[in-house]
A = this chain, B = another copy of it.
């Protein structure tokens, strides 16, 4: 199957799986160069998230801002598909890992991708404006290229998203402390301005829009915005799976059986006689 020597095959197989994240030997585990025993009890859990995703330990300011952005994403109640699926899953017999799997899976483009998409827009506006350009103009130009719906702005449920204001306060503090530059906070405000020009009822920023500001300020790639949200929501998924398990219930469908679903298909008919 191969002209390589055994030596070369083993070498190639070894390289098949290569990583800069973790190095393991019997009795030794090192993460990004740090011995695991030097990390335990010494770094915070958000530090570990940062270290794993970014390669180095964050400053305390960076770590606390990341942490604050992870708090509000944990849950949005049983009307959220991710939460409902977690609860339904355990009534089908799944342990918590299985419930988490089925639920985290649906944090896809629509249910979990708004922050990532918003980060992409922010980065695009930053590049469009360049260091000297006008951000509102750049935002208007970028939004004109996108569709009407801007991820991170507006909410189908909350007229004002209560999670935005406290995070903006923390962003401003972090700018003052020199933890972040404030560039993407400005980009976010520029989107708001561009978006609401000429509108009577203003569209407000939602949780995805403000966490996107934070993740951009902290230098994360857009897809990691989705990933960090998934870590955060996993907490709520686990909590609801566990609560449902304690409530009991078997094969819990989406609605009580008292509410029928609507059938819209053909009326009863017979199988063609050449089949029977």
From B223, B250, B255, give the contact of A242 (CB < 8 A). Answer: B223
- What are the residues of chain B within 8 A of A250 when measuring CB–CB? 110
Complex interface residues of chain A between 159 and 177 (CB less than 8 A to chain B)? 159-163, 165-167, 169-170
**Cα–Cα distance between A49 and B92 once the two chains are bound (Å):** 25
Q: Which of A138-146, A185-193, A232-240 contacts B (4 or more CB under 8 A)?
A: A232-240
**Cα–Cα distance between A27 and B263 once the two chains are bound (Å):** 16
Within 8 Å of chain B (Cβ to Cβ): is A71? yes
- What are the residues of chain B within 8 A of A5 when measuring CB–CB? 6
Q: Are A81 and B253 in contact (CB under 8 A)?
A: yes
Q: Which of A13-21, A120-128, A129-137, A195-203 contacts B (4 or more CB under 8 A)?
A: A13-21
- What are the residues of chain B within 8 A of A98 when measuring CB–CB? 94, 98, 101, 105-106, 108
- What are the residues of chain B within 8 A of A79 when measuring CB–CB? 17, 24, 253-255, 257, 261
Within 8 Å of chain B (Cβ to Cβ): is A113? yes
Q: Are A22 and B91 in contact (CB under 8 A)?
A: no
The residue on B at minimum CB distance from A38 is B271
The residue on B at minimum CB distance from A5 is B6
Known: A19-B77, A36-B163, A163-B29. A104 touches B106 (CB 8 A): no
**Cα–Cα distance between A250 and B45 once the two chains are bound (Å):** 29
Residues of A contacting B: mostly: mixed
Interface size on A, residues (CB 8 A): 147
**Least Cβ–Cβ distance between A13 and chain B, in angstroms:** 5
A 86-101 to B, binary, CB cutoff 8 A, 1 in contact else 0: 0111011111111011
Known: A110-B250, A111-B93, A223-B245. A21 touches B162 (CB 8 A): no
Q: Are B53 and A238 in contact (CB under 8 A)?
A: yes
- What are the residues of chain B within 8 A of A85 when measuring CB–CB? 85, 88-89, 102
Within 8 Å of chain B (Cβ to Cβ): is A183? no
Within 8 Å of chain B (Cβ to Cβ): is A31? yes
- 8 pairs, A vs B, C-beta closer than 8 Å: A17-B84, A17-B262, A18-B262, A20-B266, A43-B271, A98-B106, A102-B102, A227-B242
For the complex with contacts A17-B78, A84-B253, A93-B111, 14 further pairs of A-B residues with Cβ separation under 8 Å are A21-B239, A22-B77, A29-B76, A32-B265, A34-B270, A39-B271, A40-B71, A40-B163, A41-B167, A53-B239, A81-B251, A92-B106, A92-B110, A110-B251
Q: Sort A-B residue pairs by CB-CB distance and give the 7 closest, nearest first.
A: A93-B109, A20-B265, A101-B105, A93-B108, A92-B111, A254-B254, A33-B266
